């Protein structure tokens, strides 16, 4: 009797496994067919030429956070030509477009669109025409890839089992544009979100991410230490703020090295210090500032508390006073970017179909920050890096460089990846929620 039961259990399990395997097999066939069609469409010469034209126009006219007026106009013009409805303005210059049925489920794709205050030093036909401004973080590429996805999705709008929200977001570079987009309700009905960021360190044709925490939470601080100035020949008649600031900066480093678990990721960095101008005069005030970062909200709060205590105490020791501004309204702190495991697995599976399994990279956590984190805090989200390194081009391998060069072969790849992640999510969002 026991043998019969065991045989029955094994048989049922085998059938269940085979059924599951067949489902996954057919799902893989459907996904492969979908991604192949999307990639073929995005790589058509006419489509690819359009992508390059859009990206180069964006690159030539970069605009800083919440000043992206021409950028926004270009996005809206392209959406109009595609017959895609949108809401504008959102968070001053942002645009949120909709493709599909207009009903739930709703899936979000996000591209940031602001540039940096950097003078471009790459000499090429489409160099920035706005002096002192450059798309040195690749946001021109992000916008172009999302517009490419919009075009691909619009062609399949009657097949969409729900709605894709295309979120063109201003003010990522330190100004928490994502926070303001969320605050204005632009993604209230969005169930999940996906974002891409270029990586000049990864070869074109690869993508990478990881489940869980991927980028740090980040905040800033400005400090003014007030003392009593005087001649350097009579330091006893002064209250030296330079000494107080110097020892405060040194003491800040002990927060991580002596108060943080070595297995946790935290960092405190001072980026500037300003004092007097004369070598023989002790100044009245010293200013300095920097950033602090952590992979957890709790870690960020602890660092903020201790930074304040350390600086104020060091100032008192040297008979000075300290004022600390954490810029919480002007430069809102970013939470850590955390990939939802189900969304990560979904995007990874789609990426394997688009790029090939061997081209999906498990990247390490880094202490850089991204305001995509506000979306990942609100809803299941996944954030991936997409490679733009071309060995045949002379390229710098870091973002925020005046010498940044992007391999434009990434444009159709990113457009197809965006569209495939959204389309396949809408096919069966319940499966992702149940994982």
Least confident of 282-286, 397-401, 410-414: 397-401
For range 398-424, the mean pLDDT: 97
pLDDT of residue 431: 54
Task: Please tell me which residue, 61 or 7, carries the higher pLDDT value.
Answer: 61
Q: Compute the distance between CA of residue 306 and CA of residue 90 in angstroms, rounded to an integer.
A: 37
The fraction of the chain above a pLDDT of 70, given in percent, is 92
Tens of pLDDT, residues 120-160: 999 999 999 999 999 999 999 999 999 999 999 999 999 89
Judge whether 418 is annotated as a binding position: no
The crossing angle, in degrees rounded to 10, of helices 139-155 and 2-42 is 110
Judge whether 69 is annotated as a binding position: no
pLDDT of residue 185: 96
What domains are there in the chain, each with its CATH number? Answer: 26-215+336-431 (3.40.630.10), 217-325 (3.30.70.360)
Examine the pLDDT at 3 and tell me if it is beyond 50: no
pLDDT of residue 10: 31
pLDDT of residue 21: 45
How high is the mean pLDDT of the chain? Answer: 92
For range 289-301, the mean pLDDT: 96
pLDDT of residue 369: 96
For range 189-199, the mean pLDDT: 97
Rounded to two decimals, the pTM is: 0.89
Residue 95 and residue 79 in contact, taking contact as beta carbons nearer than 8 Å: yes
Examine the pLDDT at 2 and tell me if it is beyond 80: no
Token pair of 389 as six digits: 């390194």
Judge whether 139 is annotated as a binding position: yes
Judge whether 391 is annotated as a binding position: no
For range 175-185, the mean pLDDT: 97
Tens of pLDDT, residues 21-72: 444 434 555 899 999 999 999 999 999 999 999 999 999 999 999 999 999 9
Examine the pLDDT at 290 and tell me if it is beyond 60: yes
Q: Compute the distance between CA of residue 247 and CA of residue 238 in angstroms, rounded to an integer.
A: 17
Give burial (CB, 10 Å; 0-12/13-18/19+) of 272: exposed
pLDDT of residue 192: 98
Examine the pLDDT at 188 and tell me if it is beyond 80: yes
Give burial (CB, 10 Å; 0-12/13-18/19+) of 261: exposed
Least confident of 1-15, 83-97, 184-198, 229-243: 1-15
pLDDT of residue 13: 36
Examine the pLDDT at 434 and tell me if it is beyond 70: no
Which residues, in sequence order, are bridge partners of residue 221?
290
* Local confidence band at 396 (pLDDT 50, 70, 90 cut-offs): confident
Judge whether 173 is annotated as a binding position: yes
pLDDT of residue 313: 98
Q: How far is CA 366 from the centre of its chain?
A: 12
pLDDT of residue 377: 96
Sequence-distant (≥ 6) Cβ neighbours of residue 303 within 8 angstroms:
219, 255, 266, 268, 292, 293, 294
pLDDT of residue 430: 63
pLDDT of residue 428: 80
**HSE value, Cβ hemisphere, 13 Å, CA-based, for 317:** 14
CA angle 167, 409, 203 (to 5 degrees): 95
């Amino acid at each position: 009797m026991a043998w019969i039961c065991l045989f029955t259990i094994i048989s049922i399990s085998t059938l269940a496994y085979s059924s599951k395997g067949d489902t996954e097999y057919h799902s893989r066939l459907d996904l492969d067919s979908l991604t192949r069609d999307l990639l073929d469409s995005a790589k058509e010469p006419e489509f690819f030429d359009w992508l390059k034209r859009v990206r180069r126009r964006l690159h030539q006219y970069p605009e800083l956070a919440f000043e992206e007026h021409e950028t926004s106009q270009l996005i809206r013009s392209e959406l109009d030509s595609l017959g895609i409805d949108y809401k504008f303005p959102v968070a001053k210059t942002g645009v949120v477009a909709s493709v599909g049925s207009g009903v739930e489920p709703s899936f979000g794709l996000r591209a940031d669109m602001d540039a940096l205050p950097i003078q471009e030093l790459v000499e090429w036909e489409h160099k920035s025409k706005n002096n002192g401004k450059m798309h040195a973080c690749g946001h021109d590429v992000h916008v172009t890839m999302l517009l490419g996805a919009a075009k691909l999705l619009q062609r399949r709008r009657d097949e969409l089992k729900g709605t894709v929200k295309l979120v063109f977001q201003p003010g990522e570079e330190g100004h928490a544009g994502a926070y303001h987009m969320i605050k204005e309700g632009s993604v209230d009905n969005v169930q999940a979100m996906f974002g891409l960021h270029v990586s000049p360190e990864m070869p074109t044709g690869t993508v990478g991410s990881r489940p869980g925490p991927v980028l740090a939470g980040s905040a800033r601080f400005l400090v003014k230490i007030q003392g009593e100035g005087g001649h350097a020949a009579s330091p006893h008649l002064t209250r030296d703020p330079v000494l107080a600031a110097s020892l405060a900066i040194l003491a800040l480093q002990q927060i991580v090295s002596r108060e943080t678990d070595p297995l946790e990721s935290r960092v405190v960095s001072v980026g500037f210090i300003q004092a007097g101008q004369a070598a023989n005069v002790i100044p009245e005030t010293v200013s300095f500032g920097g950033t602090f970062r952590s992979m957890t909200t709790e870690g960020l709060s602890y660092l903020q508390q201790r930074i304040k205590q350390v600086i104020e105490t060091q100032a008192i020791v040297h008979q000075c006073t300290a004022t600390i501004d954490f810029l919480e309204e002007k430069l809102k702190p970013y939470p850590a970017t955390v990939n939802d495991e189900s969304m990560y697995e979904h995007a990874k599976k789609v990426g394997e179909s688009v790029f090939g399994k061997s081209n999906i990279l498990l990247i390490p956590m880094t202490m850089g920050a991204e305001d995509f984190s506000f979306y990942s805090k609100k809803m299941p989200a996944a954030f991936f890096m997409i490679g733009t390194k071309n060995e045949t081009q002379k390229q710098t391998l870091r973002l925020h460089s005046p010498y940044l060069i992007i391999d434009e072969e990434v444009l159709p790849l990113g457009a197809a990846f965006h569209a495939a992640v959204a389309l396949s999510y809408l096919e069966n969002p319940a499966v992702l929620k149940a994982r």
